[in-house]
Amino acid sequence: MRGGSEPAVVEVRSTPEVSVQETFEEWEAAVARAYVPLVITPVRAGDFRARIVQSRFEGIDVSIVDASGQHISRIPRLLHQPEEAVLFASVTTHGHGWLEQDGRVGEMADGGLTLHVSSRPFSAHFEQSWGVVAVQVPLSEVVDASGVAAERIPTAVRFAPEGAAGIVGRFFCGLAHLQCTAPDQAAVLARHGVGLLATVVQLAAGELPRDEPSQALAKQRVLAYIQRRYTDPELTIDQVAAACAISRRTLYRLFEHGEDGVAAILRRMRVERALALIRTDPARPLLSVARASGFVSERQFYRAIKREIGMTPGEFRTNSA
């Protein structure tokens, strides 16, 4: 998924016309398409409902799941589907459940983050209604980025929301919701998802990054701060660095290997905001759009729009009409 795409929504619900059994079969098929094939069974009689809002970015999927109680199993005969193994990170947003893999049982509750992999059997159980933000990435990418072998990744372990993993979990929760309101900005932030998960794996396996402490987490703090403040025309790179407790040099070094430097990320967020305002309120004066999007001057606004999309704000408004 690239910026501008809408999340995919799947919803199933039992009705007088659709039995619980039929609904569960539909849900099981939907889960297989969205994640990996699983065996899903109800834990109690009565109506059933479930919903997935899934955002597919380049190299990483983030989804919001809300469902009635159920038991989920990844059984041996399903392990070869798909062929490429997947790492899942789940942040429990509401409800209470248990995840079991590799002989461990981890609690799923209260904003905690848990990891599991598709290449080995696992099961999860939720007695009542529950919700998670689920992240999935190719396992090989996380192994390469973290340097931690797949068999050493601590699965079915709950990481509390107060620690470093909790910060990453909140990042993914914010990303999942941002995709519904500002997909272009979400796509920019999603590029850092694999690195953040790799850092969680390193921390979980007891292997702190060898470079600057928690570099991926530092990047996440920077991105989160910019996301909160990018519409402020007074925001500067020095202010970003100071707010995130790092030097200006370190700030630039955090983003030096990606295609987007920190200044480019800030500019792109402002541009996307401006384009959205032009689309939704075409009669709004362009100077007002510029100020609401964080640009210091109308000249800066025109130059940024021209650089990003190859046309002036006026030309974009005409083409969008």
CATH of the domain at 102: 2.60.120.10
In a domain, 215, yes or no: no
pLDDT band at 158; cut points 50, 70, 90: confident
pTM here is 0.67
Q: What is the pLDDT of residues 162-194, one digit of tens each?
A: 888 899 999 999 999 998 888 888 988 999 999
In a domain, 179, yes or no: yes
In a domain, 107, yes or no: yes
Measured CA to CA, the distance from residue 110 to residue 93 in angstroms comes to 7
**In terms of domains, do 107 and 254 share one?**
no
Tokens 């889960």: give the residue. Answer: 31
Tokens 């519904």: give the residue. Answer: 180
**In terms of domains, do 58 and 182 share one?**
yes
pLDDT band at 132; cut points 50, 70, 90: very high
Residue 195 has pLDDT above 80, yes or no: yes
CA distances from 181 to 60, 89, 185, 279 (A): 19, 23, 9, 14
**In terms of domains, do 152 and 113 share one?**
yes
Over residues 68-87, the mean pLDDT reads 92
Q: How many domains does the chain have?
A: 2
**In terms of domains, do 32 and 103 share one?**
yes
In a domain, 153, yes or no: yes
**In terms of domains, do 31 and 150 share one?**
yes
In a domain, 158, yes or no: yes
**In terms of domains, do 261 and 134 share one?**
no
| 8 Å CB contact between 210 and 169 | no
**In terms of domains, do 18 and 132 share one?**
yes
**What range does the domain containing 261 cover?**
223-321
In a domain, 56, yes or no: yes
Residues 6+ apart with CB under 8 A from 165: 113, 159, 200, 203, 204
